[in-house]
Structure 1
Amino acid sequence: MTACLSALTLLTCLAADGDFAFVTSAPPGSVVVARVPAGTIGPLEAYVPGAAGGQALPSQWSPDLPDAPLAFWLPVGTAAETVRLRRSTTPAVAAGGPRLQLSRDGEQLTVTSDSYEVVHRPDEQAGLPSSVRLLPDGPIVTGFNYNDRVYDPTLGGYILRYDPQPTIEVLASGPLRVVIRTTASYLKQDGTAPDSRPQATYTFTYLAGSPRVEVAAYATQASTFAWQQLHIIEWNFADPPSKTVVGDALAEPLTLSNTEKTSNSRWAGLDLDGRLFGLTCPDRLLIYDGIGGYGFYLHGPWVEWNGLEHRNQVTMLLDGDPRAG
C-alpha cells in the first residue's frame, strides 16, 4: 500500500553489465530511495556517468534496510534515468543537498532537519514522536496523546502508549535518511494484555529536505481475534496549540469550538500561523471537534481487524504544502 501525498520516492533498479540502471523515474531535488537486486553486495553509491569517473551523488547505504538500502540526493536538473549505481567503500555522503541529523541523549532520539525537530522517547507515548518543533522559530507541538488502540465492545480498549517497555531501534542514522522503528504491545493502563497478545511495529522514515515523515504500521497478534476497531496514528489534543484546522475537504478553515462534529478529509492538520502539523493516509482522515470535551482528534486509519496481521500507511505532515509534489 502506498500513501497518498507520500514523501518517499522508491526506485527499482536492474543489474546491467556490472552496473545498475533504474527502471522508474523520480522528481529532481529530492532524496530518492532505491531497491537493488537481491544479493547485491554494498555499499553502493549513485553517480551520473561522465568523464573522470562521472559525478558522484550524495549517497547513504543502510544495510539494516535490506529491501531498499540506498538513499541518494537527486539534484535539480538531473534526470533519474541518467543515474547509475556503483560499488563504493566511501559513498559521497558529505557533499551537496539537505541533511538530517540524529542525536542521542540517553534513550532519547532526536531527528533534526532544516524545518523540524522530532523527539522519540521510550518513556513517552511508547516511543512514538512525542514532541515536534517547527524550525527555525516555529512552535513546539507537545502534550498530545496517541490513542492508537484495539477495541472490542466486551473487552474494551487496549492502548499502545500504555506499554512501559517499548523497543526503539535505529535502522538508518542519516545524513540523507533516518529510519526509527518502535515496537509496543496493546495494554490496559494497569498493564493487562488481551489473550491474543496484539502488538504493533511502526517504522518512521525521515528524508532530508522533505517535511513529510512516512509511517509504516504493522500490527500482529499471537492468535486470531476479531477486533471491532484498530486505530493507527490517532492524535488527541485536550488543548491544541492552534484552534484552526485546515484540510482539502474543508471549504474553509475549521475553528475548533466543541461542536462535537466530525468531518473527513484526504489530508488535514493544525494551522500554526501558516505552518502545518497534520496527517494524510491512503484512506480519508477523520477530524473530531471536541475542545472542552473529548478533545480535538485527528484520526489516521480506523479499521476492523480479524486476522493475525495488518499493515497500513500514514504520512505525518510537518510543515509544507501537502498538495505539492
Structure 2
Amino acid sequence: MNNPLMFNDPSGEFWEAGALLTAVAIAIQGTLVGTIVAAGMYILKSLVNNTWSWGGFARSLLIGAITGAATGGLTGGMSASGFNGAVIVGSMNGAIAGGVYALFNKENFFTGMYRGAVMGAAIGGITGLISSTFQYFSNKKPTLTTLGDLKNQGYDLTTIGEDYTSTLQVRSDFDNLVGDYEVSTSNINNEMKLASNADLNAYNYNFNSNGHIQSNDIRDTGYILGFNVGKSRSWLSNLFNENLGSITYISPTLGRYSDGVKKAVMGHEYIHGYHRYIGLAVKYSQKAFHTYTEASAHQFSLGVSTIFGDSWYQQSELGMFLNYGGKFPSAFDWKPALYKISNLKLFK
C-alpha cells in the first residue's frame, strides 16, 4: 500500500486535469475579485454623481466578472516578481480591463486598452515597489554580536542571579557602570578585587550561608557586598609622605544584583578608598573614621538606589545611613570623590 510506484501517471491525464483545474480556480478567483471591485467602484461613482440604478449596478457587476475572469485566466499564472514584473503584469491586466470596459460602454476598444495599460502599469509599479520594499526589510537580517564577541571585548556577561567568578568581571562592570577602571582607581591609589575566603579570613570576615560577606558591625544589618581596607605603608612611602592607598574587596554575590545596586556598591567602596587616599583614616580615630566614611558612603548609595528605583535597597541604605548617625563632617563629603572617576557613568 505504501509503494510510491502505485501512484504514477503514465498517460499524463492526471497532470492535464490538474493544470485545467488550476486554470479554472485562477479564473474563478479573478471573477470574484473583479466583481467585488466593480461593485465598489460603481457604488462610489453613483454616490458621488447621484446616478444610482439597479440596472447600472448589475451591468457593472457583469463587467467586473468578465474582466476579472479574463485577467485571471490570462495573467494569473504569470510571475510578477520584482518591480519590472509587477509593471508588466499590471499593464496587461489594465489593458484587458480597459478594453472590456470600453466595449461595454461603446467606446474605442484600443483606446480603452491603452488607457487601461497605462493605469495598470502605474498601479503595478506602485504595488511592486511596496511589495519589494516590504520583502527587503522582511529578509534583511541585522549583524548580530555574539556572546563570544562580547567576551573577547572584556565585557562581564554575568546576569542577575549569577555570582562573579573573577576579578576581571568585577573590573569590567566598573568600566561599564561606574567609569574607567584603570584611570579612576589609579587616581586614588586603589585596586578592586573579587573577595576570596583567604581575603576575608585576613580581615576577620567570612561568607555566610547565602554567600554574602558576614558583617562584624551590627549597624550593617547582617551582611555587606564589599569592603575597603588600607594598604600597608612602607617606611619609604612615609618618608616621602605619599597618599595612602587602599584595596576594595567585592563579594561574589554582587553579580546577582541589578546594575543600579552594582553602581551603588562600587561607588560606595570607591568613596571609602578616596577618604583613605586623602588621609582621613590617619587624621581621625579608627572608630570615628569608620562611622563618618560609612555615613557618607551610605548617603551616596541611598541617592543612587533612589535614582534607579531599587526600592528594597533604598530602604536598606536609608536604615544604614541612620544607623551610622545620619551625618558626617564636611571633610567626609562624598562628592569630591566623584571628580576622581574618569568618564563618570554612575548616574546614567
Q: Give the TM-score of the pair, scaled to structure 2.
A: 0.22
Structure number having the greater helix percentage = 2
Structure number having the greater strand percentage = 1
Q: Give the TM-score of the pair, scaled to structure 1.
A: 0.23
Structure exhibiting the larger radius of gyration computed from Cα positions: 2
Instruction: Give the structure, 1 or 2, with the largest relative contact order (CA under 8 Å, sep 6 or more).
Output: 1
